[in-house]
Chain A
Amino acid sequence: MYAKFPEGAAHRTDPAAAAEVLYDAVVVGGGIAGALIASRLSQAGKRVLILEAGPAEDLTLRGYESYLDRFYSATGKDNQSPYPAGVNAPMPRGTDARRISPGAPDASAYLVQSGPFATDTTYTRVLGGTTMHWEAKTLRMLPEDFRMRTLYGEGADWPLTYEDLAPYYNEAEREIGVSADVADQAYLGITFDEGYVFPMKGLPLSYLDRMVATDLDGMPVELGGERRELRVRPFPQGRNGIPNPAYDGGKGYRPRGAVSTYQVEVGERCQGNNNCVPICPVQAKYHAGKTLAVALQSGRVDLVAQAVAHKVHIDEQTGRVTEIEYRRYDRPDSPGSATMRARGRLFVLAANAVENPRLMLASGLRGSSGLMGRNFMDHAYLLAWALLPEVAGTFRGTNCTGGITDLRGGRFRRHQAAFSVDIHNDGWGWARGAPMTDLVDLVDAGGRYGQSLRQGLVDRVSRQLQLAFMVEVPANPSNRITVDPAYTDHLGNMRPILTYDIPDYTMRGVAYARQLSRRIFARLGAEDHTAYDPDFWGYAVHAGEGYEIRGGNHLAGTHTMGSDPSTSVVDPDQRSWDHQNLYLVGGGSMPTVGTSNVTLTIAALCLRSVRAMLSQLDAETAPIAVEVAR
């Protein structure tokens, strides 16, 4: 499907003129949450204004290729390397992470970290948001993830069940274009509608995955009084594969191609570029630009970019939001901005789980429950790495095609955190900067050149196996986003301050993950090379053992949903309890993160919320029937 981003749409809306319009909805943030909501509201005939903090550039093939060029030319290829770093809407960067000394917050980068635990977690502030750099792994949450408190006495219960969200998972899988097979994905209570198939067939496992599976499949594990057998399972992926003709009752599925170009060399099936993060070179991977392009075609969606929300204004009497004040900067790389206003019937904060509470708190809106910004969650990643006995052809495929998901759920969650395990097709890249670090070491320290270098590379790189344990972090009110007028950015916006520690519950899961990795490596006959550096910024000690913990960029929990206004920030529709016409959407609404990468669930939640937004708009704009007595 050809998705044309309307020419000039990123800069044709005059902010001054827009300020005179009463939009049906003003959406802050042009990532997947904002794009989905704008697209669905506009389909229903509503007028929407999107405020985007990133540069005002259309999504074009040329623009996309400039991201790629920036990536190719970057000496360090971290997950922000393709995207322009602007001074006015700064982005946290993985390379910013520093060890935090007690009592001394690290304010050297945009995200101020007061610790005690430092994280490299990031988000991308360009049109399309973090879906530009996301890996596009699209796991549904388990039914038990919604009932953690009831079942396991840990974390929180959702005011929604898996069954409530299931139809919206279906819709999100259509929008994102998920490639997977139901037979692989129905486990640990995940159910699908009768006859459901994913839009596209599952991507094949990598040669590396299969090599691991040969020895791993059937490995017995006893945990929490339950016995199970591990196996390598393919992950559902938000990237184009082979359309399933059985989709939608036999209607089939038409994959969505690259934005603003025809499907010739780009926008078709995944080509195995092994670069999902930080950028798919051919837009086989979904990004929110694909949804935005369609939304903007409606003619009912206006977009003002280079617009950083500054303050949410409230009517003191009714508590309703009256307008959003924002700073419109002139150029991404230099100071100079104007203060503008956006007015609407509804307001939707879709900026992410750090920026949403940051904006609310900077506006003095702490929430009647006092929970705004609290319960910050992410996944804690533990990596373990080894060399397989044989050449596995590492560094081919998508970043990750398969993994171990058998320990995502179970009774052991009373005691310790669950995890999902990725088999990384990009070897020890994340843990140790492979393969460049291997190259440098072989040449500089190993004296290798010519044939012995080629041999050394095959021996050392093509046998790499890295397991990434994505460990659940439960909500804890002490983990939170705050603001402080002492920390502002160039536009005078208060910067987010993160206070974060990894709870023992998670650390018990981490410790178990490390033990399990040793067993797995032994079963595979692999040489364990895992060693955790005490000087690493994310070094954490538990029960006398130290671990390197990394962030997952799976931001969640800072405006959690609930059914009780005194213990939550938003209701099950993601509507603010305090401000009737305000929705805070995205990962921030999630009471638990489970062991799923958050984007699919964010998309499902937003699609569900659209229904509430539409009925609210209809109710609040319906003509009042006046009965006249005769």
Chain B
Amino acid sequence: MTAPSFEEFLRLSVDLTAFGETELLGTGLARQYLAKVRAACGDEIVTALLDAHRAARTEAAGDAGDAGSLDGILLDRVLLDRALRHRIFSDDRLGPVARNVIKLWYAGMWYALPPEWTDRYGARAAGEASTVTAASYQEGLLWRAIGANPPGAKGPGYGSWAQPPRIEDRYLNGATK
């Protein structure tokens, strides 16, 4: 079996987090996160997750795309959302892993998988709750999403707290589902 592809992991991460490739690479942690997911879940499951993601994108691209050349094609967001829900989030094996990848990016922490998952697919030592590195907490996307710094790092500067938060306009007015 070939090792899960970093590029595909990155593409999956973009869809799961709604942060761009540049922002994800900018954390400096993307490769460590892939390594963490592999260590915690095993390559077979990671590969299956990436395969399911590729298939979801193919489905969302409709007739316009084939599996090999999806970059640059405008995907139907509604179709992609449905395909991800059907192929990944509702899957017993892949759903919890995908949710953990989201939390890993947002919190910088690997949360322990649910017991019903480990009972069925096996527990690994690396699957325990842990921070990946001291830097991962500081790079959590959660803080960027709310226009704040991770508490204890990246201090925004004296008095900055008196100003309105820097949150992207499209998220400011609520209720984008």
Closest to A464 in B: B146
Q: How far is the CB of A258 from chain B (nearest CB, A)?
A: 13
CA distance A439 to B145 in the complex (A): 11
* Stretch from B29-37, B42-50, B126-134 forming part of the interface with A: B126-134
Q: Is A60 an interface residue (CB 8 A)?
A: no
Q: Is the CB of B134 within 8 A of A72?
A: yes
Q: What is the size, in residues, of chain A's interface with B at 8 Å between Cβ atoms?
A: 56
Q: Which residues of B contact A (CB under 8 A)?
A: 15-18, 84-85, 89, 98-99, 102-103, 106-107, 109, 111, 129-131, 133-135, 137-138, 142-143, 145-149, 151-165, 167-168, 171-172, 174-177
Q: Is the CB of B158 within 8 A of A274?
A: no
Q: Is the CB of A454 within 8 A of B131?
A: no
Q: Is A597 an interface residue (CB 8 A)?
A: no
Q: Is the CB of B153 within 8 A of A396?
A: no
Q: Is A163 an interface residue (CB 8 A)?
A: no
Q: Is the CB of B171 within 8 A of A272?
A: no
Q: Is the CB of B89 within 8 A of A462?
A: no
* Stretch from A145-153, A200-208, A483-491, A609-617 forming part of the interface with B: A200-208
Asked whether A457 and B142 contact (CB < 8 A) given A273-B149, A447-B89, the answer is yes
| Residues in A whose Cβ lies below 8 Å from that of B152 | 68, 71-72, 273-275, 279, 281
B107, B137, B147: which contacts A72 (Cβ < 8 A)?
Answer: B137
Q: Is the CB of B165 within 8 A of A391?
A: yes
Q: Is the CB of A272 within 8 A of B160?
A: yes
Residues facing B in A178-234 (CB within 8 A) are: 203-207, 210
Dominant SS among interface residues on chain A:
loop
Residues facing B in A523-578 (CB within 8 A) are: none
Q: Which residues of A contact B (CB under 8 A)?
A: 68-69, 71-75, 77, 203-207, 210, 241-242, 269-275, 279, 281-282, 391-398, 401, 425-426, 435-436, 439-440, 443-444, 447, 449-455, 457-459, 461-462
Asked whether A272 and B172 contact (CB < 8 A) given A279-B152, A393-B165, A439-B142, the answer is no
Closest to A65 in B: B134
Q: Is the CB of A241 within 8 A of B158?
A: yes
Q: Is the CB of B107 within 8 A of A436?
A: yes
| Residues in B whose Cβ lies below 8 Å from that of A454 | 18, 145, 168, 171
15 new A-B pairs (CB below 8 Å) besides A274-B161, A275-B153, A396-B161?
A72-B153, A73-B134, A207-B164, A272-B160, A273-B153, A275-B151, A281-B153, A282-B155, A393-B147, A396-B160, A398-B161, A443-B102, A452-B177, A458-B171, A458-B174
| Residues in A whose Cβ lies below 8 Å from that of B143 | 395
CA distance A459 to B170 in the complex (A): 12
CA distance A269 to B167 in the complex (A): 25
CA distance A395 to B98 in the complex (A): 27
CA distance A74 to B151 in the complex (A): 13
